[in-house]
Amino acid sequence: MTSSWLRGGVVYQIYPRSFRDTNGDGVGDLAGVIEKLDYVASLGVDAVWLSPFFTSPMKDYGYDVSDYRGVDPLFGNLADADALIARAHALGLKVILDQVWSHSSDQHPWFKESRSSRDNAKSDWYVWADAKPDGSPPNNWQAMFGGGAWTWDARRRQYYLHNFLAEQPDLNVRNPDVQTAILDVARFWLERGVDGFRLDVVNFYVQDASLRDNPALALSKPPPRPHQFQRQLYNRTQPETLAFIGRLRGLLDQFGAIAIGEIEDEEPLKVQRAYTDGDDRLHTAYSFYLLRQRAMTPAIVAEAMAGWEGARGWPSWSLSNHDVIRFPTRLADDDPQRAKLMLALLLCLRGTAFLYQGDELGLPHADVPYERLRDPEAIAFWPSGIGRDGARTPMPWSANEPMAGFSSAPDGWLPLDPRHRALAVDAQERDANSQLAFTRAMVALRRASPVLQIGEFIAHEAPNSALVFERRLDGLRVFCVFNLGPERIRVGLPATGDAKFTIGEAHLAGSEATLGGYSGLIVET
């Protein structure tokens, strides 16, 4: 195995709870993933990334792990995981597992032992600190899900750190024994055949050794969340994290496996470059830069790509995932034509492209009423939160079946959005103009073009809402021309060529492109 597939590859993210339920309990399972792997392979993607299916109390729906080597009974068992890996490989798909090593569940045996006393064998496996003289927490850090980032533990008479829920205590990844335990977990799954890991909030692994207060931001009005009052200088992105990544990379290289790091930082592009800059760093960094945008403009794309200019590392890009508003809603106002344009743009960028389940169907962000919310973040910040549940509702497979073919149960762990039924896989399979057909065609175009996969990115000046860039490799050139606005425009290209792919109302005459609103051309010279 080698990691070369990653550069220019396309990864399909599966959120197992919502993909396919085979036992009728309203929750997706690994057997359901196996059942639908042929469909995933038919998209032309290179790999699947599976959100956590490990043993968990599900306070944060799998991102609070209580056994890194176990499969939660909701999803199946280890034999199912092995069967999934084998079936994926038989279909030519790599398998990437989500690993949550910044924190564990408070039900993990490591934490139970750590909190039992100050002098046990794992007493330093989590981030513990004494109270201030007045009994208040060690510093001013705020948790991402609201409230302070420290919780008092009466047994140790100390505070423990949790950057997310109180039920998600932060591991002390400074500790070499913790690092070794994490590497043992990685080896366990690598020996079962997985091809790599997506590392959840990788830059949260290590905190400032002195636990200094984060400085306050100068704000004109209060932000939505307490942690947004501060510059996140000391609770994340510490240099010691890179030393551990070097140890992990050494293990991964033994198996030809890869690491994709999720980076959440106030300077995302800078930190992503730092975490991928060299053979002892991550293979790529999963970016929130485009995921956080509420509109797509030429300037945003130019800034994203400029952030990687001259970098040794390799970027990754995504428009949707299980944590953000789905891109057809966020970036395309639920307009199918605009959704196609956004997808085409993603697949033309230099870097690994990530598709989230349902992106290929153009699913809008689901409406989930308050009484059906399950996500602790959505509940804590309702009604102004991002509403992650809306990205996690059941995948629609069959327009005319109960629960759109997701489950034989009358209802799912989250409700099915009625709008999704008409966009089900079987309905789109019969429509040559569907988002599904478009996705397959665009992925095929990318796979057939080394220029689009790994070619250099060169931005060109263009008027108004036009985005024009060139991909170049070994003398071959591909021009990508997108109209990100509603008005018809004309754009001159630096060279003549043939239109290899058309999005919407677009025409090429010599070196001049005419583009209707939200249209595009991919031109090969």
Catalytic residues: 200, 264
pLDDT in tens, 374-423: 999 999 998 887 689 999 999 999 999 999 999 999 999 999 999 999 99
Band the pLDDT of 2: cuts 50, 70, 90: low
Concatenated DSSP letters of 285-339: EEE-TTTT-SS--HHHHHHHHHTTTT-SS-EEEES--TTS--HHHHTTTT-HHHH
Pairing status of strand 258-263 against strand 284-287? parallel
Q: pLDDT averaged over the chain?
A: 96
pLDDT in tens, 110-121: 999 999 999 999
pLDDT in tens, 70-106: 999 999 999 999 999 999 999 999 999 999 999 999 9
* Angstrom distance (rounded) from CA 108 to CA 330: 37
Helix/strand/coil for 506: strand
Task: Flag whether the pTM goes above 0.95.
Answer: yes
Spell out the residues 6+ positions from residue 118 whose beta carbon is closer than 8 angstroms to its own. Answer: 128, 156, 158
For the chain, domains (ranges, CATH) are: 4-103+175-445 (3.20.20.80), 456-524 (2.60.40.1180)
pLDDT in tens, 301-314: 999 999 999 999 99
Residue 1 in this model has a pLDDT that exceeds 60 = no
